[in-house]
Structure 1
Amino acid sequence: MTLLMKPAAAVAACATLLFGITTPVCANTLEQVMQQKVLRVAIDLNAPPYGMKNETMKEVGSDVETANLLAQGLGVKLEIVPTTQANRIPFLLTNKADIVISSLSITPERAKVIDFSVPYAVIQSVIGAPKDAPIKDMKDLVGKTVVTARGTTNDQNVTKLAPPGTNIVRFENDATAITAITSGQANIFSTAPSIIAALNKKDPAKALDIKVVMSTSKMGIGVAKNNTELKDKINELVRQNLKDGQLNTIFKKYHGTDLPQDVLAEGK
């Protein structure tokens, strides 16, 4: 594939953007994407369930399916550009990718460097417990034991929001926290909806419901600054796929819950 770009010039121009200077477009324009018939999407494939590889080494996950949906909407081939959390934005700024779909939360700091589409999904931090557990809000955790993975956003949230008298037990990772649930050591979990969904699938007898949503961060598709036509087209496709329910179907498949109403409202 012949890329319509000048690598040295792109890197030089985009590098200045890292220091807060407004520069020209740092990735292929919509016209170039359509000419090449390829959409290059940066995705972290080590961030399940957003991006990962299955047992046959095929790329799967909610961000992967979202990328496929957008490529289909454009009528072009999807090219996944594997990235890491640290390299998501640099890959966009140095024209290694046209857009970023990689569990990228919309933040004011990032918005200084790149543009975002309208929200297409969220990252949530929740409290899960058995269906019949009398938990409706955080105050109901008093006197109860909650397990979580040490140092995660879920750990930070439950530490900050749980009232005094809550027994928080921290495990080194999600896998050992899940073992505590499935072995019966505890039945309240501070975690992400996707992990609850995986736990419920693995051990339906120990199934948990989402009782409290502690935090929700909206995610957007990263687009280079000044790449207006591409951003506008991505927004059009995101809104269309929110309206017809396809993005909600993808999210529920991998995360075990529907998209929040304020995200779904972007498609109306």
Structure 2
Amino acid sequence: MNRRFFGLALATVVGLSAMTQAAIARSLEDILSSGVLRVGTYADQPPMAALNDAGEYEGFDIDVANHIAEIMQVELEIVPLTTAQRIPFLQSGQIDISLGALTRTPARALLVDYTIPLHSESVLVLTTEENAIETWRDLDAADQTLASGRGYWTTDMVRAELPNAQQDLYDGPADQVRAVAQGRATAIVDIIDTMMVFTEQYPDVNWRVIESEIYSAWCAIGVPRGEEGLKNFLNVVIHDMHTSGKTQEFWTTWYGAPNPKPVPLDPVF
């Protein structure tokens, strides 16, 4: 194909794609007019978000989502997502905002916009007393099998930092913790707050956390590209949550203790 023609055709496709997304994504005014806020998050990852016995969503993300919807005076619609669906659902306009501990990364920032941080997350090692390792670097050995999450950014980090370890992939934290509890994996290198909740299901296992922090990151609310009005509104709401103590209130309710690394207060965003 003629290179110039190919370039023009590609530019047309990209342009149409951008126009399609812009047409699908809903602005703040669209959401207010519809009376419904569509929030994407997990359906099976307590204490972040999960269905309870009554078939209702509950968790930290749900409290945050309800708080935002209440301020907007709209109904809340929870859209259950997997880890891998969070960005595509934003891009396709199937959700208005994404929670689900959406870590800020440069690669994702090419695809969606972020609010100011909602909370932090820290990567530590979860293993058992049977594992004699002393530091997370001791896991970089062929006799160590790590239970990692499919589609998680931490999975790529582990693969790069601990290349000699065996790595098995699972669909979520519950499966990761089960693998270690049943002896199919020796450790987890991942977000510790999320993992610890599932250890309660295995009281006979002697769990151990290696306390040295491997990595800390900020999690924010994902917003479709270019929706500045929606992003600015959410920034004001999140800042107010941090200054009023509501963020830590929600976190303590579901995780049992305040977030160990609160977001620094900055009025400029």
Q: Same fold (TM over 0.5)?
A: yes
Superposed displacement of residue 207, structure 1: 5.8
Displacement of 1:138: 4.6
C-alpha distance in structure 1 between counterparts of 2:65 and 2:50, whole Å: 13
Contact 1:119 1:266 in 2 (8 A): no
From the superposition, tell whether residues 259 and 248 of structure 1 become closer, same or farther in structure 2 (CA, over 3 Å).
same
In the TM superposition, what is the alpha-carbon distance from 1:205 to its structure 2 partner? 8.6
Structure 2 regions of 5+ residues with no counterpart? 1-12, 171-175
For 1:54, the equivalent position in structure 2 comes to 52
Q: Is the 8 Å Cα contact of residues 51 and 63 (structure 1) preserved in structure 2?
A: yes
For 1:264, the equivalent position in structure 2 comes to 263
Runs (4 or more) in structure 1 with deviation over 6 Å come to: 12-15, 139-142, 151-156, 168-172
* 2:70 pairs with 1:72: yes
Q: Deviations over 1:145-166 (max 9, x none)?
A: 977425776677667668x9xx
Q: What is the alpha-carbon distance in structure 1 between the residues aligned to residue 15 and residue 220 of structure 2?
A: 20
Of all paired residues, the percent bearing the same amino acid is 22
- How many residue pairs match? The answer is 244
Whole-angstrom CA distance in 2 between matches of 1:36 and 1:73: 15
- What is the CA-CA distance between 1:71 and the residue it aligns to? 1.2
TM-score by structure 1 length?
0.68
- Cα-Cα RMSD: 4.2
Structure 2 residue matching 1:247: 3-state secondary structure: helix
Counterpart Cα distance in 2 of 1:72 and 1:24: 26
Q: Name which of 161, 176, 179 aligns with 1:176.
A: 179
Instruction: Determine helix, strand or coil for the equivalent of 1:102.
Output: strand
**Equivalence for 1:203:** 203
Deviation at 1:33, TM superposition (A): 2.0
**Which 5+ residue runs of structure 1 have no aligned equivalent?**
1-11
Q: Cα distance 1:160–1:229, how it changes in 2: closer, same or farther (>3 A)?
A: closer
Kindly indicate whether the alpha-carbon contact (under 8 Å) linking 2:124 and 2:191 is maintained by their aligned counterparts in 1. yes
1:117 Cα deviation from its structure 2 partner = 0.5
Flag the structure with higher strand content. 2
Give, in angstroms, the shift of residue 137 of structure 1: 5.8
Is 1:192 matched with 2:194?
no
Counterpart of 2:60 in structure 1: which amino acid? Answer: S
Q: CA deviation at 1:74?
A: 2.0
Query: What does residue 231 of structure 2 align with?
Result: 231
The question of 1:88 aligning with 2:79 is answered no
Aligned position for 1:6: none
